[in-house]
Amino acid sequence: MNNTGDAGDATIRSIEGLVELGMTPMQAITAATKNGALASHELALYGTVESGKAADLLLLDADPAADIHNIRKLSLVMHNGRVIDTERLPTKPVFYGRRPAIPIP
């Protein structure tokens, strides 16, 4: 793997890292989903699977609660309630290296 890794790999590695630091797999998944939505003040829109929320889901081929590395066994991706053809997604990150600084007024 190169320095940039696969597109989206940093999030997966972060969740796996939380388990390495002592969280259970479900605590790590909750931290990345529900708690992430709470932190961004958007829990009403996403972060849990509930009626009326964004239908952005990942379906896995194996149970991540049994082994956190199963979060890499992706079967299906949904965005806004529609199945995404993952074969057509970009495979390279948009940014390489450092992003330019955004001036703060």
- pLDDT (tens digit per residue) in 30-79: 999 999 999 999 999 999 999 989 888 899 999 999 999 999 999 999 98
CB 92 within 8 Å of CB 80: no
Distance CA 41, CA 44 (A): 8
pLDDT at 13 over 60: yes
Burial 13-35 (b: 16+ CB within 10 A, else e): eebbebbeeebebeebbbbbeee
| Segments making up each domain of the chain, as ranges | 9-85
Which pTM was predicted? 0.72
21, two tokens: 């630091």
CB 7 within 8 Å of CB 90: yes
Question: What is the signed CA dihedral for 50, 84, 74, 99, rounded to 10 degrees?
Answer: -90
